[in-house]
């Protein structure tokens, strides 16, 4: 029987987290789901750890030893999938079991892509955050934000324009069809492979896929309901980038560039800096150019990109300035910095205001917020999410059916 949905996990050297993700999914008794584990770790220890689940026909595990690039690992995961729909998650992530029901609804209504929110997050050990306005995110906790379950149709072309104007960064702020934490018809990716020679290109599979899908899909559905559980472990790039700063370095040190079969052509409009923002921007350019839609890049704001880089890591100012000087030699250093910091200042102020308002709403109980602690792995987080969603009293399928699909 063809699986309804394949959950894809491309993993490398995060065995403990991946094992928990696999177990949390295979604990479900539904045979409509498939789990793909494409392992590119430095050793085969995950294969040994995963042995108790090998007898489950819903699991497909493959080990590919290094050298094997990050993007090749993701492509290999898609290649293994046989489900009608696919969903890519990280090896420290999980799913809401209702994603199966959502995929069944999508199939019945011929929906090419369905995207939920990211408002159910699990923090692994050693990933707590500092207290802000008496609210603290602690390790080993499931945090569930406020949502109402409403669904809507979205034209991705609007989001593409906003993304470019935002320096091709922070794509998660916009409504995009997504492979990463989204539900997409697998046949669309088969078409992409026929057209370009690979399911995914660039360096970042999430933003490349979002743009590629936006150029191929006219409409998709966004529902304000968590279909997956994004996880944050101590090895997550968000933790290393935001707290440890270990990912802000020369581009030549980027793991994304390792073990590639051919040299990678970095986009000249993006600073040669290894950080989340530049990887996103470079991959966005790669997607637009791959599908010959350079015309959509006319509104690209390089100063917005640089402002977003410095908002995440102010210590990168010398590298950003060096890039801008080579690009815009007619301006002085101070003029270039003024351009960037005028944007950064406005964005930073707005971000702080929104964060304060958000946390005040939490404190006053205006916005629903749940933080369940002492949860030690994704298996427990998945069970806890199921129990917690009952309290929200929302009917996912009814809300999806209320969407005007005409």
- Determine the pLDDT at residue 148: 95
Q: Which helix (H) or strand (E) holds 108?
A: helix 99-108
Average per-residue pLDDT in the chain?
91
Distances (CA, A) of 392 to 48, 148, 170, 285, 395: 39, 8, 29, 40, 9
Q: Which of 117-131, 149-163, 278-292, 389-403 has the lowest mean pLDDT?
A: 117-131
Is the predicted pLDDT of residue 134 greater than 50, yes or no?
A: no
Torsion on CA atoms 376, 380, 381, 384, rounded to nearest 10: -130
Provide mean pLDDT across the span 85-104: 98
- Determine the pLDDT at residue 250: 80
Provide mean pLDDT across the span 162-184: 96
Is the predicted pLDDT of residue 35 greater than 60, yes or no?
A: yes
Q: Which of 122-131, 212-221, 223-232, 357-366 has the lowest mean pLDDT?
A: 357-366
- Determine the pLDDT at residue 241: 53
| Contact assessment for residue 147 and residue 153, using Cβ atoms and an 8 Å cutoff | no
Provide mean pLDDT across the span 74-92: 98
Secondary structure (H, E, C), 338-387: HHHHHHHHHHHHHHHHHHHHHHHHHHHCCCCCEEECCCCCHHHHHHHHHH
Q: Which stretches of 271-331 are assigned E, i.e. beta strand?
A: 273-274
Confidence band (pLDDT; 50, 70, 90) for 132?
A: very low
Q: Which helix (H) or strand (E) holds 215?
A: helix 205-216
Provide mean pLDDT across the span 233-239: 76
Provide mean pLDDT across the span 59-83: 97
Q: Tell me the whole-structure pTM to 2 decimals.
A: 0.93
Provide mean pLDDT across the span 28-57: 97
Considering only residues 354 and 162, tell me which one the structure prediction assigns the higher pLDDT: 162
- 354: number of Cβ within 10 Å: 10
Considering only residues 351 and 213, tell me which one the structure prediction assigns the higher pLDDT: 213
- Determine the pLDDT at residue 362: 58
Q: Which of 10-14, 42-46, 354-358 has the lowest mean pLDDT?
A: 354-358
User: Does the CA dihedral 370-375-380-382 come out positive or negative?
Assistant: positive
**Bond preceding residue 152 cis, omega within 30 of 0:** no
Strands 85-89 and 151-154, how do they pair? Answer: unpaired
Task: List b or e across 300-317, with b for residues whose CB sees 16 or more CB atoms inside 10 angstroms.
Answer: bbbbbbbbbbbbbbeebe
Provide mean pLDDT across the span 152-168: 96
- Angle at the Cα of 122 from the Cα atoms of 118 and 128, rounded to 5 degrees: 115
Which single residue is written with the structure tokens 């011929």?
110
Provide mean pLDDT across the span 153-169: 96
Is the predicted pLDDT of residue 276 greater than 80, yes or no?
A: yes
**231 bridge partner residues:** 122
Is the predicted pLDDT of residue 22 greater than 70, yes or no?
A: yes
Nearest to 167 by CA among 321, 303, 298: 303
- Determine the pLDDT at residue 369: 81
Provide mean pLDDT across the span 113-130: 92
**7 bridge partner residues:** 35, 87
pLDDT tens column, 255-275? 889 899 889 999 999 999 999
Task: List b or e across 151-175, with b for residues whose CB sees 16 or more CB atoms inside 10 angstroms.
Answer: beebebeebbeebbebbbbbbeebb
Cα distance between residue 384 and residue 370, in whole Å: 11
Provide mean pLDDT across the span 149-170: 96
């Amino acid at each position: 029987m063809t699986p309804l949905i394949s959950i894809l996990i491309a993993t490398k050297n995060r065995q403990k987290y991946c094992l928990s993700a696999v177990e949390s999914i295979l604990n479900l008794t539904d045979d409509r789901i498939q789990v793909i584990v494409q392992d590119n770790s430095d050793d085969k220890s995950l294969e040994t750890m995963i042995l108790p689940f090998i007898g489950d026909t819903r699991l497909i595990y493959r080990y590919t030893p290094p050298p094997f690039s990050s993007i090749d690992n993701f492509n290999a995961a898609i290649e293994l999938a046989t489900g009608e729909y696919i969903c890519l998650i990280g090896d420290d992530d999980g799913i809401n079991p209702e994603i199966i029901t959502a995929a069944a609804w999508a199939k019945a209504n011929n929906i090419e892509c369905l995207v939920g929110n990211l408002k159910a997050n699990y923090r692994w050990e050693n990933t707590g955050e500092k207290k802000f306005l008496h609210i603290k995110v602690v390790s080993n906790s499931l945090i569930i934000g406020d949502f109402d379950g409403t669904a809507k149709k979205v034209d991705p072309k609007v989001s593409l324009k906003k993304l470019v104007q935002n320096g091709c960064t922070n794509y998660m702020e916009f409504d995009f069809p997504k492979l990463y934490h989204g539900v997409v018809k697998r046949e669309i990716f088969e078409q992409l492979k026929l057209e370009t020679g690979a399911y995914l290109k660039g360096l970042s599979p999430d933003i490349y896929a979002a743009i590629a899908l936006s150029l191929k899909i006219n409409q998709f559905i966004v529902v304000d309901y968590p279909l997956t559980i994004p996880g944050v472990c101590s090895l997550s790039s968000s933790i290393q980038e935001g707290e440890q700063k270990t990912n802000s370095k020369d581009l030549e040190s980027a793991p994304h560039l390792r073990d590639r079969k051919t040299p990678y052509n970095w986009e000249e409009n993006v600073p040669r800096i290894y950080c989340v923002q530049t990887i996103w921007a470079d991959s966005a350019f790669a997607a637009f150019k791959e599908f010959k839609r350079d015309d959509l890049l006319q509104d690209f704001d390089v100063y917005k990109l640089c402002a977003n880089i410095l908002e995440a890591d102010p210590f990168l100012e010398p590298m950003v300035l060096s890039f801008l000087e080579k690009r815009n030699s007619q301006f002085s250093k101070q003029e270039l910095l003024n351009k960037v910091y005028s944007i950064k200042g406005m964005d930073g102020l707005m971000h702080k205001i929104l964060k304060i308002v958000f946390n005040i709403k939490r404190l006053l109980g205006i916005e629903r917020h749940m933080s369940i602690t002492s949860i030690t792995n994704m298996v427990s987080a998945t069970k806890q999410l199921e129990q917690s969603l009952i309290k929200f009293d929302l009917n996912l399928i009814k809300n999806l059916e209320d969407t005007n699909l005409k």
